[in-house]
Homo-oligomer: A and B are copies of this chain.
Amino acid sequence: MNFEVKQIGVIRTPFKSNDKIPIQASKSDITGEAEVFPDYSEGLDSLDGFSHVILLYWFHKSQSPKLMVTPFLDTKKRGLFSTRAPSRPNPIGFSIVKIMQIKGNSVKFKGADMLDDTPLLDIKPFVPEFDNRFDAISGWLTDSLHAKNDDYLGDNRFLS
């Protein structure tokens, strides 16, 4: 079965191409702006007070998905669903970003890791009581993360 999603706004970032995009919001100090279209402004009410939001968006530059991919942080082929590659059957990305300012229909944030002009699909509040998992383990990524340390800038074709 198929469903239709609609663009509810746009995410503006300094990134015009995949070069040098931080591979994850948690590794990015870059600011961006999530603008909802004016019809949706009212929905931003009460968002102040939260420190972080979850942005859901459409990877508009993603390519045809492959079920096995070689991730940016690895040299072995891995199942797509064990990676954060943007080219997926449903190219929906999510980033947890830090709210800097909410004004009118716009949320300025820190943690940009997506292309400029990315279509916005949803904004949800990040709720630490719901969304943190202190006991989580990273699987194949563990070694790669330690090897790469914070040297995380680069082509993010394979990690959203």
A interface with B by C-beta (< 8 Å): 1-8, 24-27, 36, 40, 42-54, 56, 58, 67-68, 76-84, 88-90, 92, 94, 96, 119, 121-142, 145
Closest A-B pairs by Cβ, 9 of them: A45-B79, A49-B139, A50-B139, A46-B82, A46-B78, A43-B80, A51-B137, A81-B123, A128-B136
Given contacts A43-B80, A45-B79, is CB(A132)–CB(B129) below 8 Å?
Answer: no
A8-B60 Cα distance, complex, nearest whole Å: 19
Query: Which of B44, B46, B54, B126 contacts A140, CB < 8 Å?
Result: B46
Q: What chain B residues lie within 8 Å of A96 (beta carbons)?
A: 131, 133
